[in-house]
Structures are given as structure tokens and as C-alpha cells.
Structure 1
């Protein structure tokens, strides 16, 4: 402890001497200042981001839960999970008293996006009122209640309730987590931290694919309950964001939060002043009218919404839904094994994106992502067109598997994580809550719309949806190439200057 006190005293002495000598170097700065003049601690920023993104893990488990569960509780399927053999047996168990018809399965599946709309819309407003951290705590409660409900459900009504509750929590964390991360991260790692949301989402999906193949659906639901409990515990450890604290006049608390996040020995005075300058320019919380009347906010909103639209109109959900059927017809591999393999690929490539994003940049990864997806979707469309009219497709049965793997790879490095990350950096604090809520709500509207459209288009032929989504990705490539500027390494003020046309 004595040596630590000596180090602290020397640091304070050097700070005083530097200020007297007119030395402008500062150990830590916010966006407007140069970070590379000093060495700061980034460990706790990653820790805080990982904790808040446990909500993304929980969301991933919620999104993919139906994949292993529906085969166990479908009407006409009298088999049950055998805990001894780790497989499906023909004996009936109390766990499998629930039997769902096709229409009931559709309703159970649709409860999540429906609940997500209710969760996303008010979350930005709540986050501006009580803080990002406390909003995450409040919205973690529906996660816990949902998994308890699903674990002990004995009728389809409880499944509806559980999926609706889990949708509320999922939609809310899609708003709160990107807001929190964008307000705690230094400029140099803002992109990497921003991609953690999608990375941990894919880890949650993979967890369901692997564990769901080994245990019964009620046991799976109980295991999923562990994640939101860990999240709630972790939220008591991390601080509120400095931006929110300063916005509400809590300067000393903001200083302590910065010390916790950026290192005990950092000089936070310039960082605090830079944040305050940005807040002074924006003023009080803005309304929806202010969001669209300000040019920078309006342009940011257009970009954020379009990136969300392009993300969903890549057909990612349609490809996932169609994946098992393609694997069954085009491969000798077990569809469950193929699903796990695709899940692993998705996690690995999303991780690669988090490493590449601060090197390659947002724009180049988005263009790469949409270009490869355009080609892959077109090839899937061509394969299904050939399959409808000739038997030639039998000789190229490997093509769909190749296309799906490349599609997942390209989605995971670009349109998977980047729209979520950019959503947090396009807006100033006064409009961020409203803007992020509207962007996330639009994402979930598109999820529902694409799911419905896939069924309609597929009725016209298995090739039609893929041609449709391929055309959308072509539009996305052109839009990003023409209209989007790189935001890598840019401060909040620099991004706002670009959006306002200065």
C-alpha cells in the first residue's frame, strides 16, 4: 500500500508541474481530444460492456429457443426427451404434456417480436429518465420471469405469456445495451466494444443449438434462467455512464464513473469538460419533433433506420428458417449438426468482425458484407430455379451448403454487428434515447414483415425469396458506397459535422 501511495503522490505532483509548465498533454481524454498521447486502461471498459451484453446472450437464447423446443412439443409427435440416453424416446413424460398445433407454434413464435415492439419503444425514454444502468436492471426482470414461466409451463397459455415477456426484455436490451456501450467507450475501441452485442447474441444462439440437442426443453429453459440472473448481479458492479450522469448534473459521480471505467490514475478533467461541451450544445432532452427538425439528427435517423432495414431484408431469418430443409435435401450430414456448425461459424466470424472493425472500418465491412450476400442469395435463387425445372441441381447439391456458409460469414462480419454499433454513435445524448428506440422498433417491425413476406414469396416458388433478398442487398451496397462516410476514429462532434453537412 505504501508504494501505491507514493505512485499516486508522484502522479499528482507531475500533473501539477505539467499544468504550471503549460504542458497540454493529458493522460485521458474524451472524443474531442487525442487519446494516443497517454496510456489508459481499457480492461474495465471491456468488463462493463461484457456485463451489459449478457442481455444480448439472453436475447440470443430467446430468439433461438423455438428451434430445439418445437420438435419436442409438436402435436402428433408423441416422443419425449430421454435424459438417460440424451435423445428422443417414444415414452410420454409429464414435461411433454403440452402439444402445439401449427397455428399455436406460429403464435408462440410471433409473441417474441410482438413483445419486442413494446419493449423497444419506451426503453429510450426510460433510459433518459432513470439512467441506462437502472433501465437494464428493470428490464432484466421480464427475462427472469419469462424463463421461470417457460420452465414450469403446463399449458400453451403460459408459453404465450413467457414468450411475450421475453420479447419485452429482448427489445429493451436492443436499445439499452448499444446506448450504454457508446457512452462508456474511448474512441479507439468504440467499434470493437460496439460489436460485442452481436457477438454475444450469436453465443446465446449457439448455446441453445448445443444444449438444446442434449436436454429436455424445460431443463433448457431453467439453464437459460442463469444468464439474466448473472446479468442482474453484474449490473450492481458496473457504474452508470458518465454522459448520463453529467447530463443530470452529477459531476462528481461522473468523475468516479470515468475513473472506474478508464483507470484509477487517469486525469478526467478534460474528458468531463469535453462531454459537458457536447451536452451544452445539445441542451435539454429533445422530442420526436426535434429529432426530425435537426438536420444532423434527421440524417442520423435515416442512416440508422436504413441499416436496420437492410439488415433484416438480407433475409437472414428466412435463410435460417430454410436452412434445415436445404441441408436435408443437399447433404448427408445431420441437420442438427449442420445447425451447430453454422452457429459456430457465426460466432467466429462475429468475433473476427470485432477485431477488424477498428482496422478496416465500418463502411468497407458493410460493402463487403452486402456484396457477398448479394452473390450468395442470387446463387441460391438460381439453384432453386434450376431445381424447379430440371434435375441438374442433383449434380451441384453442394452449392446451397457453400452459399449458406458464405452468407453467414459475410453477414456476421458486416450487417450483423455494425448496424447495432453505429446506432449508438450517430446521435448526440439529447436525442439518443428516442432515436435508438425508434431504430430498434423499426428493426423488429422488419423482422415480422420479412417473416411474413418469406411465406408469401415462397408460395410463388422456392427461388423467389432469394432473388428478392438479393435485390435488396444490391441496393444496400449502392447506398453505403454512395451515402455513408467512415466513422472509425471520429469523435461525436466530427460525426455530427458530417451529418449536418458541414
Structure 2
């Protein structure tokens, strides 16, 4: 009898409710906009420069403004989410993104173009924090990795869409497409609950339990998880007065090095630049840009699905090590391929090598 009860309990914890799936879908809609912003400049460079008579320096500034705006949005993202909640912060992020995409789509000069890119960057900066945190706070532990990875999946879907349709649609239409998920999220946020953890932080314990019950199902015993959330919140409140300098104590050196190191190396490995100027790189290598971008658009989503499947089976560390090795090998091969481009006889391998390694990078 006890064995049967244990099995029933195990089966119960493996279930995911429709509300949990719907909430995750609405939240990661913003991640699509994130991906669209990353890949937007890859296939629109020549058309934007031609239509608005921009120099290379002006377009480079346009491309980099999303990163600058993202830094500003990221600085305020945690404070905004803690003060106003995840839903309200995402509404603000959607407002920035929609306004920014519309400014780009309707731009008649460089000022409106840059302003739009900057606003989209601020929205993306807010999204980059709130989306994964919200997903992690509403999902049960046994599926948390897969659900959180859906953030990356939708980012790559955004990249794939702009890569593919950038071959056929104008840059203004592409900007409108980038704003569509934000409109979906603006409406969808009315129908999903606030994070149970945030409600507990605000002392709204009854609402926290009600939301948790809806997310886990009516038959699920939420008492242990609700108690765990409350204890965690109390501990975080007790540690809230700790100075940031305490992080730099010797006992935290290992964890701090790993955490900050992974974030820095992820940004400094060069994939952002490669993603933003894909079409140009294909042209420089002598490979048909349209074919290259279409192939890339077909690769990025299956690659993300593979990560979604493997993250809870293999764990984060093996996947990080595998991807780091592949990234290193691809960057070296790209450098060698461009280096021998003008060498007689050997230079013929450049287009093929660049196309293959570019696909591996993405």
C-alpha cells in the first residue's frame, strides 16, 4: 500500500498543468523579440544603408545601440521586477520594444532609426532578466531545466525568422514582425498569474498558495513547496543588508569566478558580432548570402530543440563543455579560412569552410 502511494506521488509530481504551459508560452513570447533584435542587422545591412543613405559607421552605430540599450535595461531589470512584479516589468518591456520596432519600421532618417534600436535594446535588457527568472519561479524542479531552456529556443526562433524572411521581405516589414510577439504578450499577461515567489516576498501568502495550487493542479499538495518558498524568502530578507563587497571574500572566489566568467566569456566569444553581420560575412567569403542565411535559419531551431531535450538528461556542465569546444574549433577554422582567402589554390576552400563553420557556430 505504501509503495502504491509513493508511486502515485511520483506520477503526480511529473505532471504539468495547462496553465503552467500557457504561462510559459506567454512569457517566452518576449524571447522571440530578443532573438529578432539579435539577428535583425544580419540580413538588412545593405538595404537599410541604401534606403536611408547611411555610411558604414552610421549603420555600425545603429547595430550597437541595442547592446547599449540592453545594458541600461539590464541594470534596472532586477529592481523593477522586485518592486513592481514580473508581469508589470514585462508590460514595460513590451512598451519599449513595440515603440522601438515601430520607430524602426517608420524611420525616415538616422535619428528615428537609432532611437528605435535603442528602445528595443532597453526592452530586451528587461526581458533578458525577467523571462528566465519568472519561468524558474513557476516551474517544478523536475522540469525546470527544460522549461527555462525554452527561453533560448524562442530566441533562436526569432533569429531564424529574421534570417529566413530577411531574404524576401523589406527591413521595415521585418521590424513589424519583430513586434508581433510583444503584442501577443501584452494581451496574454492579463490571463497568467504573478510569480508565487514574488507574492510571498510582498507578504501575500494566501495569493501565493492560490497561484501555486493553480500552477500545480488541484490534487497536488502544495504545502511543502509553499513552505520552501516562504523559508527561502525569509532567508533572502535576512541577507538583504549584506554589502556587495562581501561577494569578494576568499570563500566566494570560486563561485564568483565561475558565474561572472561564464557570463563574460559568453559575450566575448564573438557570436554576437557573427550573428549581427551574417550576410556580410558570407559575401566576404564569396558564398551566396541568401543561401547561407536560409540554411542558418533552418539550423538554429533544431539546435535549440536538441539542447532543450538534453539539458535535463546530460546536465548543464557537459553541454557547456561541448558547446565551448565546438565554438573554439569553429572560430579557429573561420580565422584560418579568411586568412588563406587570397592564397592561390588554397583560397577556394574559404567559401565552403566559412559556410560550414558559421552553421556550427549558430
Give the TM-score, by structure 1 length: 0.66
Alignment of 1:65-464 (within 5 A): 65-74=40-49, 77=50, 96=51, 98-284=52-238, 286=240, 289-290=243-244, 292-293=246-247, 300-320=255-275, 323-325=278-280, 327-328=282-283, 334-387=288-341, 391-394=345-348, 397-408=351-362
Separation in 1 of the partners of 2:277 and 2:101?
Answer: 27
Tell me, yes or no, if the aligned pair for 2:337 and 2:349 is still in contact at 8 Å: no
Cα distance, 1:373–1:103 mapped onto 2, change above 3 Å = closer
Unaligned 5+ segments in structure 2 are: none
Q: Which has the higher helix share?
A: 2
Return 5+ residue gaps in structure 1 as ranges: 1-17, 29-34, 78-95, 409-502
Structure with larger Rg: 1
Cα deviations by residue, 1:328-355 (Å, 9 ceiling, x for unpaired)? 46566x3122112112211110111001
Tell me, yes or no, if the aligned pair for 2:35 and 2:157 is still in contact at 8 Å: yes
Please tell me the root mean square deviation across aligned C-alpha atoms, in Å: 2.8
Q: Secondary structure at the match of 1:40?
A: coil
The CA distance in 2 between the partners of 1:67 and 1:73, in whole Å, is: 11
TM value normalised by structure 2: 0.89
**Equivalent position SS for 2:243:** helix
| Equivalence for 1:59 | 34
Between the aligned partners of 1:188 and 1:393, the Cα distance in structure 2 is 50
How many Å separate the matches in 2 of 1:215 and 1:226? 15
Q: What per-residue deviation string (whole Å, max 9, x for no partner) do you get for residues 169-224 of structure 1?
A: 00110011111111111111111111111111111111112233222222332333
SS at 1:236 equivalent: helix
Offset from partner CA, 1:394-435 (integer Å, 9 cap, x none)? 257533322222232xxxxxxxxxxxxxxxxxxxxxxxxxxx
Q: Is 2:22 aligned against 1:47?
A: yes
C-alpha distance in 2, partners of 1:121/1:288?
19
Q: 1:293 to 1:205 in 2, by over 3 A?
A: closer
Q: Please give the secondary structure, in 2, of the residue aligned with 1:327.
A: helix
Change in Cα spacing, 1:66 to 1:38, as seen in structure 2 (3 Å) is closer
For residue 154 of structure 1, give the secondary structure of its aligned residue in structure 2.
coil
